[in-house]
Amino acid sequence: MQTKTESKTLLQKEGNFSEWYSEILKRAEILDIRYPVKGVYVWHPYGFRLRRHVYAILRALMDNEHEEVLFPLLIPKDELMKEEQHIKGFEEEVFWVTKGGSTDLDIPLALRPTSETAIYPVFKVWIRSHRDLPLRIYQIVNTFRYETKHTRPLIRLREITSFKEAHTAHATRADAEQQVKTAIAIYRKFFDLLDVPYIITRRPAWDKFPGADYTLAFDTLMPDGRTMQIGTIHLLGESFARTFDIKYEDTDGSLQYVNQTCYGISERCVASVISIHGDEHGLVLPPEVAPIQIVIVPIVFSRKGGEVNNACAAVYEELRNAGLRAFLDNSEERPGAKYYRWEMKGIPLRIEIGPRDLRNDSCVFVRRDNFNKVQVPLRAVAQEAKSALEEIQSCIQERANETLFARIYESEAKDAGIEEEMVTLRDKVKQGIVSLFLCDSERCGKDLEESLDASILGEPISGVQSEGKCIICSRKARRVYVARAY
């Protein structure tokens, strides 16, 4: 695909996030939005390579304790409708297949919005005895939502192309609770490797996953000050087990319902990497997920580029042998055009080698995250590149963490009805997350959401929990996070 006609102007990100995001997806060749169905998009080769690296990390983490499986896309209407709470949460969002060829189907088939109702009837036949537990599986699949709101690539989709959903069954509630902790640990590791900062909260009861006992969520903060849910973990308890009759024979011969959990991550994880780290030059990819970690650019002005090209090829070989994802850009373009392209694509490290560098047996490292330049001796290039990538990985993380935590505003309000504080909160919530005291009644929750034009994320699951008075009703309350959410 030609990049010739692209403008090379910088892309303002601050105060212009939405436009920046669309433009980056296009210029960095992540997704093509010109597909003639609302809310579905085409993954470009480069975007797909990024997706591959992100999901390879996720798979490796999941494979430790889960087995990968694959369930069908199509769910018969009667199965989908079995769990009353569950279907209430989804029924207006389900795509229905009603015809095969010119024949009307006997039973309409849903495109899975999520797979509980596809998987749990099969759990019923897989699980017989306590020896079958715990059962821990996951799959990475396309799921579908008939979104009527504004759709947005990778973020709000009609086809979620890469939903990782895990489903587990346990003998006891304590085991299921333990699995929730394991899931949190896995998701922490995953987002840490993506350098994506997060807060973890327990969603309010009225906002939990339909059919769950409770829902924990990972949210990150997007550059426009809105939070985005990037992972959820649900303790299902026995509700689905009762609906789908999933029982095991215990050691004493009695039949017991299993206790279940499920947890999911969608391609919003890719959206967060793009959105949070990128700058006005394009993507900034953490080395862990960058399809290319290092690009080597020969600086050749005369026809006598032989030596420089040879040195570049040698460096390339050395980096590859050291297990690094390197690319040698020896195309005909000017170095400046190459810089532009690889900066746009977020390659963490650029190595430039010109005749003068060669005379000093050295090369130049240019970091994508801060554009710092350093001279590096050629004999140490692989070792230095590894160190540089590690440093870039942690600097990107540090910067992202600082940005998020600087935008959490902790309300000092000690009681309800302080109008001055509400004014501050209304302002602060436009820029980030506010933390305030709220009781757990739905009524106060809805009042606050309306008053701030924001959503309650929930109570943070870690950190010191202080008690205070509800900002709406003055009753005993705990801290919750509130933000405008995607």
Question: Interface with a second copy by CB under 8 A: which residues?
Answer: 1-2, 32, 34-37, 40-45, 48-49, 51-52, 67-76, 79, 91-103, 108-109, 111, 118, 121-122, 125-126, 128-129, 131-132, 137, 142, 146, 148, 158-159, 161
For the CB of residue 89, give the shortest distance to a second copy in the complex, in Å.
12
Output 141 or 230, the one with its CB closest to a second copy.
141
- Beta-strand pair 294-298/349-353: parallel
Output 52 or 242, the one with its CB closest to a second copy.
52
Whole-angstrom distance, CA of residue 141 vs CA of residue 161: 7
Would you say the C-alpha torsion 432, 435, 441, 444 has a positive or negative sign? negative
For the CB of residue 311, give the shortest distance to a second copy in the complex, in Å.
27
Token pair of 111 as six digits: 């495109």
Burial of 35-62, coded b for 16+ CB within 10 Å and e otherwise, reads eeeebbbebbebbebbbebbbebbeebb
Whole-angstrom distance, CA of residue 212 vs CA of residue 435: 25
Whole-angstrom distance, CA of residue 403 vs CA of residue 223: 9
Q: In which residue are the tokens 């001796």 written?
A: 377
Output 49 or 428, the one with its CB closest to a second copy.
49
* 457 and 485 Cβ atoms separated by less than 8 Å: yes
Whole-angstrom distance, CA of residue 88 vs CA of residue 21: 33
For the CB of residue 298, give the shortest distance to a second copy in the complex, in Å.
22
* 137 and 63 Cβ atoms separated by less than 8 Å: no
For the CB of residue 453, give the shortest distance to a second copy in the complex, in Å.
26
Output 70 or 464, the one with its CB closest to a second copy.
70
Output 109 or 274, the one with its CB closest to a second copy.
109
DSSP 152: B
Output 44 or 188, the one with its CB closest to a second copy.
44
For the CB of residue 169, give the shortest distance to a second copy in the complex, in Å.
12
For the CB of residue 174, give the shortest distance to a second copy in the complex, in Å.
23
- 8 three-class SS: coil
Output 48 or 214, the one with its CB closest to a second copy.
48
CA distances in angstroms from 179 to 183, 229, 260, 482, listed in the order given:
6, 20, 9, 27
Length of the chain measured in residues: 486
Phi–psi pair at 323, nearest 5 degrees: 85, 15
For the CB of residue 185, give the shortest distance to a second copy in the complex, in Å.
22
Whole-angstrom distance, CA of residue 9 vs CA of residue 420: 43
For the CB of residue 49, give the shortest distance to a second copy in the complex, in Å.
8
Output 86 or 428, the one with its CB closest to a second copy.
86
Output 72 or 336, the one with its CB closest to a second copy.
72
Q: Please name which of 439, 438, 437 lies closest in space to residue 411, comparing C-alpha atoms.
A: 437
For the CB of residue 411, give the shortest distance to a second copy in the complex, in Å.
38
